[in-house]
């Protein structure tokens, strides 16, 4: 898998509340009840200090969603069409009503993404490239949120390297070549993959995935087992 290629990758998922005790399983009920076949990804809201994150981000989100078994509307084309229809910014695109999105695109669900962190920070001993994504998937027919998740991917220039001197030189060199070899696209791809496919709270395999039926059946069984054991 291409995402594993990087030699110094530290990956974190926002596994909120994970401790030594048992972790509450993610509630897939709403997703199971409104399983979408098609997902409209809107250009992301950008809360990072970087000026423009949408082009690179949008070039890393289709593949993880497609490989997860969903039809993904052509992201760049969707953005163009929305701009041409008087919506110049992601912020405005996120305010369009579900009815209107349904009329123009006809998706089963809309994915609203916010980019929280984006890009590289340079420190004394290392540079860190970080991408943090938060996402909400909304069912178009009911307006209900059917899934939500967040993920962070970090790549540090100096993971697994030698002494402090090496690290200092490493930071300098990294800073110099950063513009030529920007790791942000790769880190964005990793964040997208984690968001969509992490085993604790990622999206269930969708209708185009060969394991869709089986996964849905298992999740339903788990839910039934939990609700019957919770009954008095």
Provide the binding-site residues for another protein, judged by CB under 8 A.
Answer: 1, 3-4, 6-11, 13, 37-38, 54-56, 58-60, 62-63, 66-67, 69-77, 79-81, 102-108, 159-160, 190, 193-194, 197-200, 202, 205, 208-210
Q: What is d(CA 177, CA 27) in angstroms, rounded to the nearest whole number?
A: 44
Nearer to another protein, 57 or 112 (CB): 57
Min separation Cβ 200 and another protein, Å: 8
Nearer to another protein, 54 or 135 (CB): 54
Distances (CA, A) of 166 to 31, 47, 128, 136, 137: 49, 34, 16, 42, 44
Answer yes or no: are the C-beta atoms of 137 and 98 closer than 8 Å: no
Min separation Cβ 181 and another protein, Å: 16
Nearer to another protein, 85 or 227 (CB): 85
231, burial (CB in 10 Å: exposed 0-12, middle 13-18, buried 19+): exposed
Nearer to another protein, 17 or 232 (CB): 17
Enter the tokens of residue 107: 């998706």
Min separation Cβ 4 and another protein, Å: 5
Distances (CA, A) of 159 to 7, 108, 188: 8, 42, 18
Instruction: Find, among 86, 84, 81, 99, the residue nearest to 42 by Cα.
Output: 81
Nearer to another protein, 7 or 22 (CB): 7
Q: Tell me which residue has tokens 């909400």.
A: 136
Answer yes or no: are the C-beta atoms of 45 and 176 closer than 8 Å: no
Enter the tokens of residue 38: 């098609």
Nearer to another protein, 37 or 148 (CB): 37
Min separation Cβ 108 and another protein, Å: 7
Answer yes or no: are the C-beta atoms of 35 and 107 closer than 8 Å: no
């Amino acid at each position: 898998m291409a995402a594993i290629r990087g030699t110094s990758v530290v990956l974190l998922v926002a596994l909120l509340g994970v401790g030594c005790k048992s972790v509450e399983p993610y509630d897939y009920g709403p997703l199971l009840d409104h399983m979408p076949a098609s997902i409209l990804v809107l250009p992301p809201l950008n809360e990072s200090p970087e000026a423009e994150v949408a082009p690179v981000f949008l070039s890393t989100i289709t593949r993880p969603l497609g490989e997860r078994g969903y039809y993904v509307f052509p992201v760049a084309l969707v953005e163009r069409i929305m701009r041409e229809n008087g919506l110049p910014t992601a912020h405005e695109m996120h305010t369009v009503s579900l009815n209107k999105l349904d009329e123009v695109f006809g998706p089963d669900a809309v994915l609203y993404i916010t980019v929280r962190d984006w890009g590289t920070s340079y420190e004394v001993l290392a540079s860190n490239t970080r991408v943090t994504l938060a996402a909400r998937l909304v069912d178009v027919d009911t307006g209900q949120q059917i899934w939500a998740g967040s993920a962070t991917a970090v790549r540090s220039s100096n993971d697994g390297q030698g002494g402090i001197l090496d690290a200092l030189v490493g930071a300098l060199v990294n800073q110099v070549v950063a513009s030529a070899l920007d790791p942000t696209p790769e880190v964005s791809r990793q964040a997208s993959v984690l968001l969509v496919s992490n085993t604790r709270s990622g999206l269930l395999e969708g209708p185009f995935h060969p394991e869709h039926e089986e996964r849905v059946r298992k999740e339903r069984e788990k839910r039934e087992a939990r609700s019957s054991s919770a009954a008095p």
